[in-house]
Amino acid sequence: MEYKIIEKITIGGSDRIYYRCNKGNQTYILVWDKNIQYHLKIQKHLFGKGISVPEVHWSDKNLNLILMEDLGDNSLYELSKKKRSLILQYRTAIKELVKFQVDGYDNAPTEDYYDYEHVKWEQQYFKKHFLAQYCKISRRKIEKLNDDFEKLAKELLKAVEPWSNFLMHRDYQSQNIYIKERKAKIIDYQSARIGPLTYDLAALLRDSYVNITPKIEKKLIDYYLECLKKKHIQFKKREFLYAYALTALQRNLQALGAFANLSLNKDKVRFKEYIPRGLELLRAGLEKTEYKELNDCVMSAQVSEACLSNN
């Protein structure tokens, strides 16, 4: 009996291609991935550590194809629309995140680090695609932001230093987490690198796809810190929250750059709809900071009107 393709699945912003297929009564996900070697290496590592990632049933490195476990359609994003047991679902995702970050770190097959160069790359990505291309901000005005971006990069890396040597998913948000059999299953882990705990937490709780209120965010941060305690990870809560706030700013910059790039340059226009929420999160994060030029730019009517007119 042969595998039969049922549908093409449109998810995420990567170049990977996904199909749902079946063989008899069983369904699977067929993935085409040009970076199949690393995909298989990181999947094997995570699966071996007991971290909930899709099981690989078959692969062909010559064709760049992987046949994987079908996680279904219950992504955290889809479940959040139903607004049932939201906190419970997110606690499940947080519990698995801590396993990913802590248990997945030892002997992780990556030599990439979330360092100064990568922070600056994310900031440049935001400036190029969101500010310049999407919002039509002039080069002269963008250059005025350079001091604030440099200050953010240095303060962020200093703040996260106590929690920097962990495995970082880099895109741990609601569309990359599925709930199956009451467990959180993780996809799109191919950009994993060594980095700070706070980045993935910020990606999850300051997610442009889901409107998480500050009250719920606080409860979920507290739960995350409880999970860290069980892993015997030491922290001072005030310092951790400061590092989290800076990381959230950086993550929101990266996300807005990605939404602009995907919608304008990658023919994935659906990502435009998430820009207003992403901008709202960035504004809120900047309100009580000393990044005056950046705050003024983001809060300006020029940026707001340009972004609204593009949606």
Kindly calculate the radius of gyration of the chain based on its CA atoms and give it in whole angstroms: 20
Q: In terms of pTM, does the model score above 0.85?
A: yes
Q: Is the pLDDT of residue 53 over 50?
A: yes
What pLDDT is attached to residue 306? 62
> What would the mean pLDDT of 19-27 be, rounded to a whole number?
94
What pLDDT is attached to residue 309? 62
Residue 192 C-alpha from the chain's centroid: 11
Q: Is the pLDDT of residue 198 over 70?
A: yes
Name residues whose C-beta falls within 8 Å of residue 152's C-beta, 6 or more positions apart in sequence: 123, 246, 249, 250, 291, 294
125: pLDDT confidence band, cut at 50, 70 and 90?
very high
Query: CA dist 32 to 13, 37, 271, 286, 306, Å?
Result: 14, 12, 22, 39, 37
Could you give the 3-state DSSP secondary structure of residue 23? strand
| Cβ–Cβ under 8 Å, residues 198 and 114 | no
| Cβ–Cβ under 8 Å, residues 164 and 115 | no
134-167 confidence digits (pLDDT tens) = 999 999 999 999 999 999 999 999 999 999 999 9
- Neighbouring CB atoms inside 10 A of 276's CB total 15
Q: Mean of the per-residue pLDDT values for the chain?
A: 94
Query: CA dist 135 to 1, 31, 201, 267, Å?
Result: 53, 35, 28, 18
71-82 confidence digits (pLDDT tens) = 999 999 999 998
Closest Cα to residue 172, out of 194, 212, 202, 214? 202
CA dist 197 and 101 (Å) reads 7
263-305 confidence digits (pLDDT tens) = 999 999 999 999 999 999 999 999 989 999 999 999 874 566 5
| Cβ–Cβ under 8 Å, residues 160 and 198 | yes
What pLDDT is attached to residue 117? 98
What pLDDT is attached to residue 139? 94
Instruction: Write down all domains in the chain, each with its CATH number in brackets.
Output: 4-69 (3.30.200.20), 76-309 (3.90.1200.10)
What pLDDT is attached to residue 301? 44
What pLDDT is attached to residue 304? 63
- Neighbouring CB atoms inside 10 A of 48's CB total 10
> What letter would DSSP give residue 179?
E
Q: Is the pLDDT of residue 201 over 90?
A: yes
Residue 103 C-alpha from the chain's centroid: 19
CA dist 52 and 43 (Å) reads 10
Q: Is the pLDDT of residue 208 over 60?
A: yes
Q: Is the pLDDT of residue 310 over 90?
A: no
Q: Is the pLDDT of residue 103 over 50?
A: yes
CA dist 297 and 294 (Å) reads 5
What pLDDT is attached to residue 85? 84
What pLDDT is attached to residue 2? 85
Total H helices, total E strands in the chain? 12, 9
Q: Is the pLDDT of residue 97 over 90?
A: yes
Q: Is the pLDDT of residue 185 over 60?
A: yes
Helices (H), 126-213: 139-143, 146-160, 197-205
What pLDDT is attached to residue 1? 58
Query: CA dist 302 to 28, 86, 135, 193, 272, Å?
Result: 47, 36, 8, 36, 18
